[in-house]
Amino acid sequence: MPGLTSTVHCVWTLEGHARELAEVQPILPDGRPEIILHLGEPFDRIEPDSTQLRQPATLFAGQLLNSLSLQPTGVVAVVGIRLQPHGAAALLDCPQDDLVGATIGVDALSKGLARDLEDVRMRSTSVSALARAVQQCLLTRVDRSRVDPRVGLAVDYIRDARGMVTVDDLARRVDLTGRQLERAFKRTVGVSPKRLARIMRFQRALHMLEHVASRQRGTQTAATCGYADQAHFIRDFRELAGCPPGAHLMRRAELNGFFARG
């Protein structure tokens, strides 16, 4: 939607029922926080000790550093607003590094935004209607003055370089010291520029892994995405995805087709 492109990366929807979907939905780091609204039953977050925590119906999900596991609990009718890496700062007046790894009710962060989102959620009778309404709602809430334009430029450069960039180069391009850039990123993006670059590189590798011919997947992906060697690629992938590349491909086959983006 015009007016939201600097804040919102995409809007996605998911519909179905827990019995039709895979038991667990693995969510991988992509460098982008999200706002999630449930018209159906909220998901459970599965903690490493197997504890199940029911998610709020309207929630904010901060930057991820590693894989997060969610489990559907009944009727699934979800609208997700995937924000730009620095997009949450234009909606929430709080340090984004405090929200890394969190899935928290929006009401704990902004009573006004939570009230507006809950209003459109309660008035919507379908995910498509909610997807349209929530974008109109966010349009009235965006405050771009909260985002340092130099952070936006650095984020764009990391994206364009597909994660293959140094912090020193980034800092020079936006006329900041490395330490200044780091502080600005922590507050506005939630993670350091180095971490965001690493996640962007991982996302490119993930895409290649899922689309390159099987006999070339490991070696070609590692070389193209700037990893030192295949072992480096596998270590990085395991840390961010929670499993080796081969296991991810098997898991993806089970989940394929559930998400639709608009």
pLDDT category, 260, cuts 50, 70, 90? very low
Q: What local confidence, expressed as pLDDT, does residue 226 receive?
A: 86
Asked if 213 and 120 count as a contact pair (C-beta separation under 8 A), the reply is no
Mean pLDDT value across residues 37-64: 95
Q: What local confidence, expressed as pLDDT, does residue 256 receive?
A: 46
Mean pLDDT value across residues 110-138: 97
Q: Where on the phi/psi map is residue 246: left (φ > 0), alpha (ψ -120 to 50), or beta?
A: alpha
Q: What local confidence, expressed as pLDDT, does residue 247 receive?
A: 82
Q: What local confidence, expressed as pLDDT, does residue 246 receive?
A: 79
Q: What local confidence, expressed as pLDDT, does residue 39 receive?
A: 97
CATH 3.90.550 is held by the domain 8-146+255-261: no
Q: In percent, how much of the chain has pLDDT > 70?
A: 92
Asked if 242 and 180 count as a contact pair (C-beta separation under 8 A), the reply is no
What residue spans define the domains of the chain? 8-146+255-261, 149-245
Q: What local confidence, expressed as pLDDT, does residue 261 receive?
A: 40
Mean pLDDT value across residues 113-128: 97
The least confident of 36-45, 82-91, 199-208, 242-251 is 242-251
Alpha-carbon gap, residue 244 to 73, rounded angstroms: 27
Decide if pLDDT at 251 tops 90. no
Q: Is residue 12 helix, strand or coil? A: strand
Q: What local confidence, expressed as pLDDT, does residue 227 receive?
A: 87
Decide if pLDDT at 257 tops 50. no
Model confidence pLDDT, tens digit, residues 179-193: 999 999 999 999 999
Model confidence pLDDT, tens digit, residues 158-217: 999 999 999 999 999 999 999 999 999 999 999 999 999 999 999 998 888 777 655 556
| Average pLDDT of the chain to the nearest whole number | 90
Alpha-carbon gap, residue 233 to 244, rounded angstroms: 10
Q: What local confidence, expressed as pLDDT, does residue 216 receive?
A: 58
* CA atoms in the 13 A half-sphere facing the CB of 152: 16
Q: What local confidence, expressed as pLDDT, does residue 23 receive?
A: 74
Decide if pLDDT at 243 tops 50. yes
Asked if 239 and 202 count as a contact pair (C-beta separation under 8 A), the reply is no
What the block records as the tokens of 90 is 């234009």
Asked if 252 and 207 count as a contact pair (C-beta separation under 8 A), the reply is no
**149-245 has the same fold as 8-146+255-261:** no
Decide if pLDDT at 103 tops 80. yes
CATH 1.10.10.60 is held by the domain 149-245: yes
DSSP for 165-232, written as a single string = --HHHHHHHTT--HHHHHHHHHHHTSS-HHHHHHHHHHHHHHHHHHHS-GGGHHHHHHHHTT-SSHHH
Sheet containing strand 58-61, edge to edge, reads 103-105, 58-61, 34-38, 75-83, 8-17, 260-261
